Structure 1
Amino acid sequence: MEFPRHLKQTDPAFNETFKIKNANEPLIQAFNQKPHSLAEIRALLTQITGKEIPASTEISIPFETDFGKNITIGKECFINKNAMFDDLGGISIGDRCLIGPNATLVTINHVRAVNKRWDLHLGAIHIESDVWLGANVTVLPGVTIGKGAIIGANSLVNKDIPPRTLAVGSPAKVIKQVEPDAD
Structure 2
Amino acid sequence: MKKNIFDRLQGGEAVPYTDPQHFQISEAAARTTKLLIELNATADTEKVRQLWGEISGEPLDATSMIQIPVYVNIGKFTRIGKNVYINHLCSMLDMGTITIGDNVLIGPKVNLLSEEHPVNPAERKALMVKPVVIKNGAWIGAGATILPGVTVGENSIVAAGAVVNKNVPDNTIVGGIPAKIIKQID
What's the TM-score, normalizing by structure 2? Answer: 0.90
Among the aligned pairs, what percent are the same residue? 33
In the alignment, which residue of structure 2 is the partner of 1:28? 36
CA distance in 1, matches of 2:36, 2:20: 25
* Cα root mean square deviation, aligned: 1.4
Measure how far apart 1:12 and its partner are.
4.9
Cα 1:174–1:107 change in 2 (3 A) is same
Would you say 1:114 and 2:100 are equivalent positions? Answer: no
Residue identity opposite 2:25 in structure 1:
T
Map 1:6-25 to 2 at 5 A: 6-9=13-16, 10-25=18-33
- Equivalent of residue 82 in structure 2, options 53, 75, 80: 75
CA distance, structure 2, for counterparts of residue 35 and residue 19 of structure 1? 24
In 1, the alpha carbon distance for the partners of 2:159 and 2:34 equals 33
Q: Using the TM superposition, give the Cα deviation of residue 121 of structure 1 relative to its aligned residue in structure 2, in angstroms.
A: 1.6
| Residue in structure 2 matched with residue 162 of structure 1 by the alignment | 169
Distance apart, 1:116 and its partner CA:
2.5
Tell me, which stretches of 5 or more residues in structure 2 are unaligned?
Answer: 1-5
Segment drifting more, 106-115 vs 77-86: 106-115
- The one of 108, 112, 116 equivalent to 1:105 is 112
Alignment TM-score, normalising by the size of structure 1: 0.92
Kindly state the Cα deviation for residue 85 of structure 1 after the two structures are TM-superposed.
Answer: 0.3
Aligned 1:1-183 pairs, distance under 5 A: 2=7, 3-9=10-16, 10-32=18-40, 34-179=41-186
